[in-house]
Amino acid sequence: MEAERLWEFPIKEFHNVPRGLLGPGAYELVGVEAKNLGFKKSLLMTSGLRGTGIIDDIVGKVKHAGVDVAVFDKVESNPKDYNVMDAHQMYVDETCDSFISVGGGSTHDACKGARIVAAHDGRNINEFEGFNKSENPINPPHIAISTTAGTGSETSWAYVITDTSDKDSPHKYVGFDDRCIASLAICDPVMYYDLPQDYTAQCGFDVLAHASEPYVSRLDFAPSLGQALWAIQLTAKHLRTAYAEPKSYDARMGMMYAQYIAAQAFNSGGLGIIHSISHAVSAFYDTHHGLNNAVALPRVWEYNLPSRYERFADIAVAMGVERNGKTTVQMAEAALEAAIQLLKDVNITENFTSVKKDTYSKNRMDTGVYEGKGAEIKGDADDIHRVAVHIMGDACTPGNPRECTVQSLTPVVKETMVGTL
């Protein structure tokens, strides 16, 4: 075939998703499912949930089924390479044969990484950055139980890790690997009732990013488009209520499906520079991934509008905008306005320099950009440049519909740092 006749992404790949249990009470089946999957002793990985009752409840259900459990509860937000390696060491020390992850994307991602490490005799997780870098097709089995409606990591082939080997310049990367997919995903809307309002909002914008990026992606993967649009519609319908009424069953159920469907959309349909910006900012400042996506989303939508007016017009309809004689361009611009209004309605800060420092100070690093308890985001030229450079090396950037360069991204990043909406 003549090279000039080829186009971008001529062959697209549909990636597997795990078996899933979704609905109220689903998590109560974890013990039975672990037993059926052949678990003997499982490493249960989590972050800040120990002491909430959730972990004790799940451990009790698993043990009641005859499966022993060891608990690793040191996973940090934006999981670090050392979280993965420490978990793997405990997996070995406790002679475990399986994994259970309980939490949001950080926990699931760290667990996926630990499984990859376990399958490769303890090799450093940073060796597996990129696409399908693992060599052993057999991973320890894994049940992923989500306690947030956001990441969808329980059903995707991606995991995101921060490489801290250069403490002066940490690097957050994505590992895409068909072998890291969980054995079973469990999503239970009742588990979201106690999620704090700010996390509900931030995780909800993670969903909107996961749904909108494959819908406008350069990959243009047809099997993902319907899922993406439906997830956008569910988010627009339910996020405000989930935020304002945390124990609204209908809203929590709607967001459960939204996050699950959105993840399956990007699983094969790709992502873009909303996520690339998010990865860069959290690499340097350890800010919440969903919050980063929320701040980046309107700026990236505006940047991408000229390349995908028709698709953004569809997004506007999914978000409840009436056409009323509007042109395609006007509808696309209305999608952006709808996203900004949603941001305001769920009280998300409008730029990174407004993020409170105490929301991103939970890592254990004590040198480099982190400055122990989290460096303050200044939004100066140095901040903007290093984020723009990090974006260009991110695995999500090639899927962005509009071409990217450090020069073209600099004003976009500046807007995320100090701009207003």
Q: How far apart are CA 116 and CA 95, in angstroms?
A: 16
pLDDT of residue 7: 66
User: Domains of the chain, with CATH numbers?
Assistant: 19-192 (3.40.50.1970), 200-418 (1.20.1090.10)
Helix axes 289-304, 273-285, angle to 10 degrees: 140
Residue matched to tokens 């997830």: 231
pLDDT of residue 2: 58
Helix axes 197-216, 328-345, angle to 10 degrees: 160
pLDDT of residue 170: 87
pLDDT of residue 356: 73
Give the residue ranges of the chain where pLDDT is below 50. Answer: 1, 360-373
Beta bridge partners of 163: 171
- For residue 262, which of 290, 303, 296 has the smallest C-alpha distance? 290
In the sheet that holds 142-146, the strands lie side by side as 19-22, 184-187, 142-146, 98-103, 41-45, 68-72
